[in-house]
Chains A and B, each alone.
Chain A
Amino acid sequence: MISVTPPKEIIKRALSEDRLKLLEHEAFELARHYGIPIPDVYLVKTPKEAYDLADSIGYPIALKIVSPDIVHKSDVGGVKLHLNSREEVARAFNEMLKTVSSRVPSARIVGVLMYREARQGLEVIVGGLRDSVFGAAVMFGLGGVFVEVFRDVSFRIAPITLDDALEMISEIQSKQILEGYRGQKPVDKRALADIVVKTSKIMLENEEIDSIDLNPVMAYDNGAMVVDVRAILRKVPY
């Protein structure tokens, strides 16, 4: 599993290497440090390592290339999903390294991120940002078309309480969807609110973070799971 490095260290290291975007496993570590539910994430370096770990992680497994030089991973073959055996995992690993190194020969490869795919839930997005007037703020919205087309999101200035977060969640236009539709159960709003509160804490305690996306977050009728974390740093804290 990924190591538990304190957030300050992760950030310091990234900045010292001139990286303004945390690597996937670093961003996951950061989230985990604040108690945000993420999958058990492993950074593996060789197909053998991946092969040996697969059974204990459980299936389906996802692999993602980790490199400071690759922004759009799937465009260069850096993402492999729905792998259902250790053989598949090892094969996918080899393929991935081959494709990536042929498409982006100059890319530095840190390793491959390996984790059990989260069960599909209702996709939501939680974010943190730093506003020049108000400082740290958080965002909540439904994923996919709701956020991209309708911009149906709500904000709060940090710090916030769990009640603030719950209010913020119920503020979006399409909140009906959270209540369950077409026979689906309502999602666990408390679990989502908890993630929003923790995101506000990340923003308040780490001045160097410019913004953070937890996108998507899978919302279930009981609990929630963050599937992807993206954290952007800034150089001069003001």
Chain B
Amino acid sequence: MNTSLEKLFNPASVAIVGATPKEGKVGRAILENFINRFRGRIYPVNPSYSEVLGLKCYKSISELPETPDLVVIAIPAPGVPAVLREAAARGVSAAIVISGGFRETGTPEGERLERELEEISRTYGIRIVGPNCIGIYDNWSGVDTYFVSKMKRPPRGYVGFISQSGAFAAALMDWMAYHNLGVSRAISYGNKVDVDDVDLLDYLGDDDKTRVILIYIEGLKPGRGRKFIEVAKKVVKKKPILVYKAGKTSRGGLAAASHTAAMAGEYGVYRAAFKQAGVIEVESFDEMMDAVRIFLHQPSMRGNRVYILTDAGGIGVMLTDALTSVGLEVPRTPSDLKEELKRILPPHCIVENPIDLTGDTDDERYIRVLDVLVEKPYVDAIVVVALPQVPGIKGTFVDHVVKLKSEYEKTIVALTIGSEASLEVARRLEENSVTVFESPERLAKALKALYTYSMIKSRGD
């Protein structure tokens, strides 16, 4: 366990330096967040006030009645080193520096200030998130330095997020709130003067409340690549890591002395590293969130054999194309299964995979075939195409899908296309851990991610 980070996420007390009653100020937004959700002790620090939002306000860290577990700093950059040094000297072991005005400014002054933070961290061993960041949103402890008041807070849940971009972290939280996807902890580390992606990955890897880890990364710190691979390899044995790498274009302009160096660019090497580490790389926002949904609710796949159950032949063909092109298999129905299906289906139904119940199907046909498929060890995943537009469907098969999903350790996902009736089916399935997609291609990519991770998890090394 990366215990040195524990106080960043689970402090018993927090000091907020720069806390202010002034509307629209970062220091006020952060204080409000803590007042709303944090159950530990809160100490506003600001020499200009004796009270802020009903809490006693202190002139400095030294004046506090106790050494806080965590210090959040939201004051102009030039004042940060002194506050940090004071905190560290008092024995504070964790700090989040929200303030900007450091290396990112590209000025010698910003550079100097950042080096000072680095040196304080090294000298005192105080762990620092930031500077120039929105910090930590922890749904379980109530630590919330996301000073973006208009951002909806997602429900408590199991997705952990590490982001090099603060704005993207906030947008994603907002999006996840809207889609009712639960978050455990979301961290945006800004300039990563101390705590970086690798530390956070290690922490979330050991965190019981995090079941899926999502990383948005532009670049790791120089020299940290091997540690990243080492930590990721360890973590993926327990939970999937999804990574979106931004900045895929090559170093281009650099006149490389050799062919290999010219070819490398940054991305090729990152791709290789992700693969070696067992990290699943996603290439778009859709892919990222689809994969998150499938990982949250689906068990591992034992193989890549997918069976499709549909009431629309065309969708069956689209799915077959999509699944095959990502490297999954849509096998032919074995002869004994064919016989079995023929016995329970009207003769005009197609028992070859994709199994086509045809447009005159009722709920009963779905239920009967699902009962058979779910028992077969050679069926690694079932895709249920549920188009409710056909007249015979009343919707009872939906409950049956849900029942089978909860009773069997089998990957069952669904595809629905359409308006209200279709959305209603989707909602009922989604609420009961059956992952639903609207597009065959997106379903295929998500299923591929699940399969890839299942293989990574089961491998020996």
Contact = CB atoms under 8 A, between A and B. Distances in A.
Interface of A: 20-21, 125, 127-129, 131-135, 137, 139, 141, 147, 151, 153-157, 164, 168, 210-213, 215, 230, 232, 238
A127 B258 contact: yes
Contact of A127 (B220, B259, B273, B276): B259
Contacts of A139: 260, 263-264, 268
B264 A134 contact: no
Contact of B263 (A21, A141, A156): A141
B1 interface: no
Contacts of B270: 133-134
B272 A157 contact: yes
B238 interface: no
Lowest 4 CB-CB distances: which A-B pairs, in order? A127-B260, A134-B225, A155-B272, A133-B225
B226 A153 contact: no
Contacts of A20: 257
Interface centre among B221, B256, B276 (most CB of A within 10 A): B276
Contacts of A155: 264, 268-269, 271-272
Contacts of B226: 134-135, 157
B258 A129 contact: yes
B269 A157 contact: yes
B222 interface: yes
B261 interface: yes
B201 to A, nearest CB: 15
Interface in B212-259: 219-226, 229, 256-259
Nearest to B268: A155
A134 B266 CA distance: 10
Given A133-B220, A135-B225, A211 B273 contact: no
Contacts of B219: 133
Q: Chain B CB within 10 Å — which of A128, A129, A153, A230 has the most? A: A129
B224 A129 contact: no
A9 B421 CA distance: 76
B92 to A, nearest CB: 31
Contacts of B256: 211
Given A134-B273, A137-B269, A157 B261 contact: no
Given A132-B222, A156-B276, A157-B225, A213 B259 contact: yes
Nearest to A238: B223
B225 A211 contact: no
A227 to B, nearest CB: 14
A211 B261 contact: yes
A153 B269 contact: no
A229 B180 CA distance: 57
Q: Main SS of chain A's interface residues?
A: strand
Given A133-B220, A134-B273, A157-B272, A128 B260 contact: yes
Contacts of A164: 276
A157 B259 contact: no
A133 B273 CA distance: 10
A164 B271 CA distance: 14
Interface string B23-55: 000000000000000000000000000000000
Nearest to A156: B272
Contact of B223 (A127, A129, A132, A153): A132
Given A132-B222, A133-B224, A157-B226, A210 B261 contact: yes
Contacts of A156: 272, 276
Interface centre among B258, B260, B271 (most CB of A within 10 A): B260
Contact of B222 (A133, A168, A215): A133
A77 to B, nearest CB: 23
A212 B222 CA distance: 21
A146 to B, nearest CB: 11
A137 B261 CA distance: 10
Given A127-B263, A157-B276, A133 B258 contact: no
A131 B260 contact: no
Contacts of A131: 225, 264, 266, 269
Nearest to A199: B260
14 contacts: A21-B257, A127-B261, A132-B223, A133-B219, A133-B222, A133-B223, A135-B225, A147-B263, A155-B272, A157-B272, A157-B276, A211-B257, A230-B258, A232-B258
Contacts of B221: 133
Interface string B196-223: 0000000000000000000000011111
A215 B224 CA distance: 30
Contacts of B220: 133
Interface in B259-291: 259-261, 263-264, 266, 268-273, 276
Interface in B118-144: none
Contacts of B223: 132-133, 135, 238
B263 A157 contact: no
A137 B225 CA distance: 11
A215 to B, nearest CB: 6
